[in-house]
Amino acid sequence: MTTVDHLRQVRLGNLRTVLLALVDRPGSRADLATRTGLTKATLSNLTEPLLANGILIEDAATLAGMGRPSKPLRFHPDGPVAVGAEINVSHLAVETLGLDGETLRRHLVPTDIRTRSADDVLDQVADLVRSVTPSRPLLGVGLAVPGVVQEGMLVRAPNLPSLVGVPLARDLGRRLGLDVVLDNEANLAALAHLWPRHLAGEDFVHVSADVGIGAGVVLGGEVYRGASGFAGELGHVVIERNGVRCTCGSRGCVERYAGLDVILKEAGRRHLDSLARALDAGDPKALSAVAAAGEALGVGLATLMNLFDVPTVVLGGSYAVLHEHLSAAVQSEMDTRVLAGGERHTRLVASPLGEFAVVRGAAGLITRRAVQQPERLVA
């Protein structure tokens, strides 16, 4: 690596800093200079190719106050976008996201994936992606799946066996002629809380439940994936070593006490909506089922906190819907069991992103990469 290469790295790093500042909000060169700590000269230099390439656009001068008016820069309204797609057990979803973090279009289609072939599903996903793609350059597609991902393939997915072993990223990429990145839905739901707007502000764990329970752990501003993509498997944290047998072969996994299927069964309900209504109506069976799940989840989360020591837990997915009736039990278990809890309370918050958190994270995977590796944008 020559010195010249190092200097190019410096330039790319500064480019990233500037783009991150612009994701935060638009601003003139002078404004960006003060926000990034770079000089006005550097900002003129760095933004020039971004304007030439149609990534940024210069707004009309703003006539506010004394001195020469500033011309704010922002992401070009016809600039590149990313699409996120989600394949889940009972639905498909897609969303288009601009570099500025604005959602353009989104779409959710209920369908039972388990009865369909991989090819069939991918055809429909490709159609859905096309249907939400505006006539703007497409950076790539992020694809979310419920299971463990390794090298663009689903290697473990108890609820979607027909997709395991199929090179989903490659196959969808061929259909669309685009770069497709595959990742786990728990990781992507966590990413959606981190990018483009950091909703938690620091390290956090995002927990959600569908059929299984998945945790996306964010450490140092990055989703932590572990050595082989199995990190954050909160569903199989043991809370009773001689407890209920689990499909994974273990016993007493959190999932067997706090999984959505278990909650629904205990509450005598078929769907989340119906459960939510029963809770609001004060149905005792529903309330106790949710409270019991909260206790089990709290024990598992306490263990997680004692190992990861992150300050915040974000309840997402179904847990976000139930959080009003779930949080008390979770918080209570955590308060008694988390060591760090004594000094400064562990923050427990509900996700503000609705059912589109996962697709949003999937699209964010792509826009984030574009901003963090800006060489693709300038070249």
Q: Which residues bind its own copies (CB under 8 A)?
A: 1, 3, 6-7, 10, 37, 148, 155-156, 202-203, 215, 217, 219, 224-234, 236-242, 248-250, 296, 299, 302-304, 306-311, 336-337, 339-340, 343-344
Q: Residue 102 CB: number of other CB atoms within 10 A?
A: 12
Q: Would the CA dihedral through 19, 23, 26, 31 be positive or negative? A: negative
60/281 with CB nearer DNA: 60
Residue 63 binding result from DNA, its own copies, none, given CB thresholds of 5 to 8 Å by partner type: DNA
Please report how close the Cβ of residue 26 comes to DNA at its closest, in angstroms: 11
Q: Would you count residue 44 as binding DNA (CB under 7 A)?
A: yes
Report d(CA 148, CA 236) in Å as an integer.
Answer: 13
Quote the CA–CA distance of 272 and 289 in Å, as a whole number: 13
* Binding-site partner at residue 75 among its own copies, DNA, none, CB < 5 to 8 Å by type: none
Closest CA to 191 of 168, 230, 219: 219
Residue whose token pair is 């008390």: 328
CB 309 within 8 A of CB 277: no
Min separation Cβ 316 and DNA, Å: 38
Whichever of 115 and 228 has its CB closer to its own copies, that residue is 228
- By CB neighbour count within 10 A (0-12 exposed, 13-18 middle, 19+ buried), where does 270 fall? exposed
Residue 90 or residue 336: which is nearer to its own copies going by CB? 336
Q: Which of 20, 26, 70, 108 binds DNA (CB under 7 A)?
A: 70
Using rule CB under 7 A, residue 312 touches DNA: no
Per CB under 7 A, 52 contacts DNA? no
Half-sphere exposure of 32 (CA within 13 A, CB side): 29
Contact partner at residue 115 from its own copies, DNA, none, CB < 5 to 8 Å by partner kind: none
H-helix or E-strand spanning residue 274: helix 272-280
Q: Residue 10, interface with DNA (CB under 7 A)?
A: yes
Question: Given the complex with DNA, which of 336 and 372 has the nearer CB atom?
Answer: 372
* DSSP 8-state code for residue 26: -
**Residue 345 per-residue DSSP state:** P
Cross-strand bridge partners of residue 348:
313
Nearer to its own copies, 111 or 332 (CB): 332
Contact pick of 20, 21, 22, 41 for DNA (by CB under 7 A): 41
- The nearest distance, CB 263 to DNA, in angstroms, is 53
**What is the distance between the alpha carbons of residues 314 and 317, in angstroms, rounded to a whole number?**
10
Residues that bind DNA (CB under 7 A): 1-4, 6-8, 10-11, 14, 28-31, 37-46, 61, 63, 65-71
